[in-house]
């Protein structure tokens, strides 16, 4: 088995001052990448800030013989992100890899959650990932190479009580990946999503300590590395935690076709069992596949020829 290496590659990892981001940065550097270690240095809820956490990780990389710089950009601020990318280009001429990992938590039931708490979490996870991706996208297109990893969560893919803000942001990242992998594939920009489960300061108190010992950040990073490798897949949601690795996929059932005079809400309701029948379901990789499925059924009914 050939080792995965990143010699000559330049990577930015956001939220890399601790937890998963730190683990990702250290492992990328160990495998030869030059690192921009980004961290605002704030608390779990996003308050405060200091570049010291990022600098500590950068110093750790350099002490091990690697190359790294620290940057305290707030990922929601385009000017700070632009400066971070500029520093990477000044140091090494390019950015090949972006790991969107930065995040905050403000958990509350939807009833108790303020709009400010909702917006703050969406801003960091979703808009922050958009901002960082936008800052490197055109450069990756010009270089005909890019590897981008989003960080989603089972809270978004499946749901988790008290995390409407977090879940909405995390599922939004899946939608972002679904579009960007299409726009980037002509330029060998591959976009994937990591859905991690680890025992970090963001999950401390939510998971029993003994169970948490099994959920190492390093086990999650082992899932991240293939998503940004030279031979990375494209549009994969890789779930990783405690040594378990799985793919999350969205499937669509074959569904039904209703003739024009039967296209009523009552008939849709009456046919929900058939509509939701999973037999023959498929994974679609582009939105147009659904359109063609529905249109094909309608065209068949009316005997219309396409094209």
The CA distance from 39 to 26, in Å, is: 14
Is there a single domain that holds both residue 226 and residue 265?
no
Q: Which helix (H) or strand (E) holds 28?
A: helix 19-30
Q: Is 145 a catalytic residue?
A: no
What radius of gyration do the chain's Cα atoms show? 22
- The total of structural domains in the chain comes to 2
Residue 5 in any domain: the answer is no
Provide φ and ψ at 257, rounded to 5°: -120, 130
* CA-to-CA dists, residue 204 to 68, 152, 156, 207, 252, angstroms: 29, 18, 19, 6, 36
Q: Given 200, 232, 247, which residue is the final one in a domain?
A: 247
Residue 234 in any domain: the answer is yes
Residue 1 in any domain: the answer is no
- Write down the pLDDT at residue 3: 98
| Mean pLDDT over each residue of the chain, to the nearest integer | 94
Counting Cβ atoms within 10 Å, is residue 81 exposed (0-12), middle (13-18) or buried (19+)?
buried
Q: Given 247, 273, 289, which residue is the final one in a domain?
A: 247
**Which residue stretches of 31-126 are H helix?**
52-63, 78-92, 115-122
Residue 196 in any domain: the answer is yes
Is there a single domain that holds both residue 60 and residue 28?
yes
Residue 191 in any domain: the answer is yes
What CATH number corresponds to the domain at position 133?
3.40.50.720
- Write down the pLDDT at residue 41: 86
Is there a single domain that holds both residue 295 and residue 207?
no
- Write down the pLDDT at residue 72: 96
Q: Given 214, 232, 247, which residue is the final one in a domain?
A: 247
Q: Which stretches of the chain score pLDDT less than 70? A: 42-50, 199-207, 306-307
DSSP-derived 3-state class of residue 247: strand
Using an 8 Å Cβ cutoff, are 238 and 195 in contact? yes
- Write down the pLDDT at residue 47: 64
Is there a single domain that holds both residue 60 and residue 196?
yes
Query: What pTM value is reported for the model?
Result: 0.93
Q: The domain containing residue 275 runs over which residues?
A: 251-302
- Cα–Cα nearest to 240, from 27, 1, 8, 17: 27
128 C-beta neighbours (distance < 10 Å), count: 26
Residue 212 in any domain: the answer is yes
- Write down the pLDDT at residue 214: 84
pLDDT tens-place string over residues 184-230: 999 999 999 999 987 655 566 666 777 778 889 999 999 999 999 99
Is there a single domain that holds both residue 259 and residue 241?
no
Is there a single domain that holds both residue 260 and residue 190?
no
- Write down the pLDDT at residue 43: 66
Residue corresponding to tokens 């601790």: 18
Helix, strand and coil content of the chain, in percent to the nearest 5, comes to 45, 15, 40
- Catalytic one among 166, 199, 245, 257? 166
Is there a single domain that holds both residue 99 and residue 121?
yes
Is there a single domain that holds both residue 263 and residue 238?
no
- Write down the pLDDT at residue 213: 80
Is there a single domain that holds both residue 14 and residue 125?
yes
Provide φ and ψ at 109, rounded to 5°: -65, 155
Residue 85 in any domain: the answer is yes
The tokens describing 223, both together, are 């899932």
- Write down the pLDDT at residue 49: 56
Angle at 36 between CA 227 and CA 57, to 5 degrees: 100
Is there a single domain that holds both residue 216 and residue 236?
yes
Residue 2 in any domain: the answer is no
pLDDT tens-place string over residues 27-64: 999 999 999 999 998 666 666 556 899 999 999 999 99
Is there a single domain that holds both residue 107 and residue 119?
yes
Is there a single domain that holds both residue 33 and residue 51?
yes
């Amino acid at each position: 088995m050939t080792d995965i290496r990143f010699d000559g590659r330049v990577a930015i990892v956001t939220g890399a001052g601790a937890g998963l981001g730190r683990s990702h940065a250290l492992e990328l550097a160990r495998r030869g990448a030059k690192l921009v270690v980004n961290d605002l240095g704030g608390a779990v809820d996003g308050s405060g800030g200091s570049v010291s956490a990022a600098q500590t990780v950068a110093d750790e990389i350099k002490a091990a013989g690697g190359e790294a710089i620290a940057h305290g950009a707030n990922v929601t601020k385009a000017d700070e992100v632009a400066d971070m990318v500029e520093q990477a280009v000044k140091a090494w001429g390019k950015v090949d890899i972006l790991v969107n990992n930065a995040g905050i938590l403000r958990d509350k039931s939807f009833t108790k959650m303020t709009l400010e708490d909702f917006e703050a979490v969406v801003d960091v996870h979703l808009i922050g990932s958009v901002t960082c991706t936008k800052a490197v996208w055109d450069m990756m297109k010009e270089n005909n190479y890019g590897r981008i990893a989003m960080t989603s969560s089972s809270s978004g893919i499946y749901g988790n009580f008290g995390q409407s803000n977090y879940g909405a942001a995390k599922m939004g990242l899946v939608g972002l990946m679904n579009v960007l992998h299409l726009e980037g594939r002509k330029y060998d920009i591959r976009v994937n999503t990591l859905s991690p489960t680890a025992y970090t300061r963001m999950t401390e108190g939510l998971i029993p300590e003994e169970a948490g010992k099994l959920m190492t950040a390093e086990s999650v990073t082992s899932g991240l590395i293939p998503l940004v490798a030279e031979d990375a897949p494209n549009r994969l949601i890789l779930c990783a935690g405690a040594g378990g690795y799985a793919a999350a996929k969205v499937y669509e059932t074959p569904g039904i076709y209703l003739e024009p005079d039967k296209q009523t809400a009552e008939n849709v309701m009456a046919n929900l069992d058939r509509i939701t029948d999973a037999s023959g379901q498929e994974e679609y990789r582009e939105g147009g596949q659904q359109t063609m499925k529905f249109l094909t059924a309608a065209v068949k009914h009316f005997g219309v020829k396409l094209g």
